[in-house]
């Protein structure tokens, strides 16, 4: 059984979806949830599944403390599901091609520093995009520039609000993110 560690900074709906999905498979399971936000709702969600959690500061992430905790667990995959800090190079170097992020846009559009959550959906609407979607990609040392694993688009009719775009993206994330993670775990067998 492959071990998955999920990093999240907020509500944790994608994290919970991944936890529930892998509770029903033999491919892998979420073994811990890490967060940089002591008030994140993801902590409550993890507790509901009796999963261990780690809360850490930005300093602990960029020093060796979080890497040390990961090395004890030895995860097969690290999943960033709404994790808002740039991932440190020491962890990326220790887990090459084992760190995956989901981005709520079709990269390379609307990627980079400051492009997350509603900032992206507002930009998509303001730019009058005809489509948007999700990108699942490996994490490297630059925001949203790792190799793309999977993209799925959704057509926009031009009169959506940013909130309606966010809802469409959330549906794509819920449908595809766990399946793509499972495919990657199967490839690593």
* Tens of pLDDT, residues 137-186: 999 998 899 999 999 999 999 999 999 999 999 999 999 999 999 999 99
**Overall average pLDDT of the 109-137 stretch:** 96
The percentage of the chain sitting over the pLDDT mark of 90, rounded to a whole number, equals: 95
Domain ranges of the chain: 2-188
Instruction: Give me the pLDDT at residue 189, please.
Output: 62
Extract the annotated binding site: 12-14, 58, 101
Q: Which has more confidence, 113 or 76? A: 76
Domain 2-188: give its CATH architecture: 3-Layer(aba) Sandwich (3.40)
Positions marked catalytic: 103
Q: Which residues contact 50 (CB under 8 A, 6 or more apart)?
A: none
Q: What is the mean pLDDT of residues 79-89?
A: 94
Helix/strand/coil for 33:
strand
Average pLDDT of the chain to the nearest whole number:
96
CA 181 – CA 28 distance, rounded (Å): 10
Tell me the whole-structure pTM to 2 decimals: 0.95
Question: In which band, very low, low, confident or very high, does the pLDDT at 188 lie, cut at 50, 70 and 90?
Answer: confident
């Amino acid at each position: 059984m492959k071990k998955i560690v999920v990093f999240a900074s907020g509500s944790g709906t994608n994290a919970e979806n991944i936890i529930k999905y892998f509770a029903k498979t033999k491919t892998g399971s979420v073994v811990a949830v890490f967060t940089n936000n002591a008030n994140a709702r993801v902590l409550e969600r993890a507790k509901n599944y009796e999963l261990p959690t780690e809360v850490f500061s930005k300093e602990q992430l960029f020093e060796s403390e979080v890497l040390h905790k990961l090395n004890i667990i030895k995860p097969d995959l690290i999943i960033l599901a709404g994790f808002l800090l740039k991932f440190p190079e020491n962890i990326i170097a220790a887990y090459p091609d084992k760190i995956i992020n989901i981005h709520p846009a079709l990269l390379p559009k609307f990627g980079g520093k400051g492009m997350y959550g509603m900032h992206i959906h507002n930009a998509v609407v303001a730019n009058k995009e005809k489509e948007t979607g999700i990108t699942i990609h490996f994490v490297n040392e630059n925001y949203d520039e790792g190799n793309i694993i999977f993209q799925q688009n959704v057509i926009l009719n031009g009169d959506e609000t940013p909130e309606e775009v966010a809802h469409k993206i959330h549906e794509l994330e819920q449908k595809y993110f766990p399946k793509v993670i499972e495919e990657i775990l199967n490839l690593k067998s």
